[in-house]
Structures are given as C-alpha cells and as structure tokens.
Structure 1
C-alpha cells in the first residue's frame, strides 16, 4: 500500500512540474524585406532587456519568412516576460545603429507602441499558460 501511495505521489508531482511548462508563440507582422535573419530575445527582468542576450531567458532566430514570421519559445515557467526583436538585413549578426544609437535595421518589442528605447515595464506581459503575441516593427 505504501508503494502505491508513493507511486501516486511521484506521478502527481511529475505531472505538476510538467504542467507548469508553457510555450510562447511570437508572430512578427509587417515584415517589409523578406531577407536576413530575425533575432528574438526573451527577458524576465529590466536589467537585461532589450539587448543583453547573455542574460536573456532564451533567444531564437527566424530565417526564410514572408511578410509574417513565427517563432515559439518552449518550456517556459509562469512569470513576467518581455520580447525584443531585430532583423539583421546585412548578415553581420548584430543590430546596426547610427552614430547616436538609433537602429538602422527593423526593431520591435512586445507591447511597444512608440519610438524610443523599449522599457521592460512597458513591454512586459504575464505568462501563465500557452500564449501567442504579435509584434510589429517600429520603423
């Protein structure tokens, strides 16, 4: 009987841990130039957002896309996140900026509706289940 109870508890705990993993689908809309690579980074704090990929929760890349592009982050825990994106048009694997730091390539972030450097506090969203978000470039 003890083995049965232990097995049931082990199964319940295993299911509970697995049930806490979510996916986040990011749909990039309004892609004007269908070339290069779209880089995505997922952050859970304002210190790393939007561009410290070494401290990002996860990163991804999209190649071969049309006017929309999709990427799915998997195995995420419940929490508060923000996504930033940029499209590398010239293939140098970095976001090019002008002499004052303004991006010369398409950029965007979750919930971003205005120009200027994105702030985690404005771009964040809650993830407590599988979720799809849409991001448009800020040109």
Structure 2
C-alpha cells in the first residue's frame, strides 16, 4: 500500500470509531453475599425505560462492592436498573415485590413500582463517568 493509501485507510478507521465514545463505570455497594451475578440494564430514554435496553452488563457478585463497566457509549442521558441475581437464574425473583436486592441509578426510588426515568437519569459526558449505587 502506498503512503497515501495507508493514510486514507487510517483516516477511514478513525472516522468509523464512535464519536464521543465514553466509558461508564458503575460501583455497586452493599452486596450482602458473594455468589450469583450483578445484572445491569442500561436505558437511554424515557420512552424505553424499563422496556427496551440500550445495553446489558453483568459481573460476578463477589461481596460488599462490585463493578460493572460499559465501554464506548455515546455521550448523553442514561438510566439503569440492576439487581443481584443471587441464584443465577437470569431473572429478578419476586413475590409481589422483589426478593432479590436491586437498585436504580441515582439510588432513585419508585412508589409502588420502579422510579421514573427523570428521577434515575444522569448525563454521561464524553470523558466518561463513574457512579455508585447501593443495593436495597
């Protein structure tokens, strides 16, 4: 490949990279026991909140504090819901109310259900962000 061809190829690769790709690191505190996984659903609008995910993540639950990282997200508004899948059955167990620990971004609380998107949303800047939530 000629030097000009190499330069064009590199420029095309850079143009294909996501603009403003940001990493989101979520620290999950108050994990009562090791075992199972921490499951995270990421949402990017009020219309899709708790319906259609923009991203899924999980990590092994190791005890008191755990971390889930989403790489290369577009900067913008997001909210997330997560739970400790203690029995590794890939779903939030409930008996009317959740029987496994859960949390929402901003430690938002709902009334008789999940919180609103507005109470859980946060802005992810192009530089990325680290947030903390506590399981309940």
TM-score (norm 1): 0.79
Q: More deviation in 58-67 or 76-85?
A: 58-67
CA RMSD of aligned residues (A): 2.5
| Partner in structure 1 of residue 102 of structure 2 | 107
Name the CA distance, whole Å, in 1 between partners of 2:19 and 2:46: 27
Say which SS state the counterpart of residue 133 (structure 1) adopts: strand
Counterpart contact for 1:112–1:118, Cα < 8 Å: no
Runs of 4+ more than 6 Å apart? none
Deviation at 1:87, TM superposition (A): 0.9
Deviation at 1:89, TM superposition (A): 1.4
Say which SS state the counterpart of residue 111 (structure 1) adopts: helix
Q: Deviations over 1:70-127 (max 9, x none)?
A: 111011111100111011112221101113xx11110001112435412110010111
Name the CA distance, whole Å, in 2 between partners of 1:75 and 1:113: 25
Change (3 A) 1:121 1:11: same
Q: Aligned to 2:54, which of 57, 70, 89?
A: 57
- Structure 1, unmatched stretches of 5+, are none
| Partner in structure 2 of residue 133 of structure 1 | 131
| Partner in structure 1 of residue 80 of structure 2 | 83
Q: Which has the higher strand share?
A: 2
- Structure 2, unmatched stretches of 5+, are none
Name the CA distance, whole Å, in 1 between partners of 2:81 and 2:57: 11
| Partner in structure 2 of residue 71 of structure 1 | 68
TM-score (norm 2): 0.80
Change (3 A) 1:107 1:64: closer
